[in-house]
Structure 1
């Protein structure tokens, strides 16, 4: 059965409120006014180091590696302490995952979020047991959109299959890995849907199993 790999933030879960809360605490410790939720949401997708870089740029802070490392450490300390306090799955995600797993699809997760909080969130939301492979942003030397993490996740599942994500990073990753891409349109995407490479787009996870069946039939 076809392996299916998912992105996490903005795809399976809306994690922006917890990321915003950790960022606000980090900024307060640095004597900075916190940025709004929408601004922080727009920074999500390329991993924690890039998130912190974007926050620093938005606050007109100098590009100082030592400051970046210090702020990253403080963000992670706050985020790791409560990664799932406000985070919730998008509607129909648990039922969709259960349906795909029951149909025999090996399921994996490939995210730029560090693997520790990723696993903690999955466990807190009761989603962890369905995933046979989890690759985080700190699992390998390279992060998405490089295809290495996605290809490694598929390899752990037994071969390439379908990737599901929500963003420009995910579309580019699927293209680099040369796998079909299903685009969830209600996540953290900033580019119009028709400008992103995708094989199908959907706004409701109850539609995903049908799209998977259609892709397999057309293959």
Structure 2
């Protein structure tokens, strides 16, 4: 087995952060006089970064998503989100799998649309900051996923060799496709599209499966 780079998405892939995002979102909505939204509603807004999330919050609240309130709510949400980790959980088997991949000599990267501040906070919370050789957040570069630039930057940081991207969503599938990387789809995250309709090289539902998937890479 030759080591390769394994680059991960974060929210909906390694962590279930929707409860924290839900709580922060409803707190900000309440501050601005809006009614709370449900967890499934807010989960469906996750994946394209904070500005998109706030756009969706305003739209769902029947307010102008492109008006002046958007910038204020982005700032308010970001302030709350910076250390929002208490309701977030790792998906089963994530820590064990990351440790095993690292011990086997694979380089690990993170490429997420989550801002870098909350990303570092949640990695620190789970004592995982030393596992990743590169971490690219949603505000690390001018572009966010599904633009391929963040994923290509993570790949460049890891030596630009053999690599695969692991994610859970439509955005991740589009990003991998645009970057020309094989995509391993975690099926238990935040996707809204049926698995069969998302472009992917391989799909898995349990992190206990990922070690074997990486061992057999490349799959063609």
Distance 2:65 2:171 in 1: 23
Native 8 Å contact 2:55 2:66 kept in 1: no
Deviation at 1:86, TM superposition (A): 0.5
**3-state secondary structure, aligned to 1:170:** helix
Partner residue in 2 for 1:138? 139
Distance 1:207 1:141 in 2: 34
Counterparts of 1:158 and 1:46, CA distance in 2: 26
**Cα distance in 2, alignment partners of residues 66 and 8 from structure 1:** 30
The two structures have a TM-score, normalised by structure 2, of 0.96
Give the SS at the match of 2:217: helix
CA distance in 1, matches of 2:108, 2:68: 38
Which residue, out of 14, 17, 20, partners 2:19? Answer: 17
2:8 corresponds in structure 1 to 6
Q: Secondary structure at the match of 2:176?
A: helix
Q: Report if the CA contact (8 A) 2:184-2:202 is conserved.
A: yes
Counterpart-to-counterpart distance in 2, 1:97 and 1:85: 21
Q: 2:87 maps to which residue?
A: 86
Q: Displacement, 1:33?
A: 0.7
Task: Tell me the TM-score normalised to structure 1 length.
Answer: 0.97
CA distance in 1, matches of 2:197, 2:87: 31
1:37 maps to which residue? 39
Give the equivalent residue in structure 2 for 1:201. 203
5+ residue gaps in structure 2? none
State the shift of 1:89 in Å.
0.5
- Matching of residues 70-219 of structure 1 within 5 Å: 70-80=72-82, 82-160=83-161, 161-216=163-218, 218=219
RMSD: 1.0
Q: Which moved more, 1:82-91 or 1:41-50?
A: 82-91
Distance 2:98 2:66 in 1: 42
Instruction: Write the distance in 2 (CA, Å) between the matches of 1:133 and 1:116.
Output: 14
Deviates more, 1:207-216 or 1:168-177: 207-216
- Distance (whole Å) between structure 1 residues aligned to residue 49 and residue 191 of structure 2: 15
C-alpha displacement of 1:66:
2.1
Deviation at 1:77, TM superposition (A): 1.2
- Structure 1: tracts of 5 or more residues without a match: none
Deviation at 1:206, TM superposition (A): 0.7
CA distance in 1: counterparts of 2:130 and 2:94, whole angstroms? 14
Deviation at 1:214, TM superposition (A): 1.5
Q: Does residue 27 in structure 1 map to residue 29 in structure 2? A: yes
Q: Greater share of helix residues, 1 or 2?
A: 1
SS of match in other structure, 2:105: coil
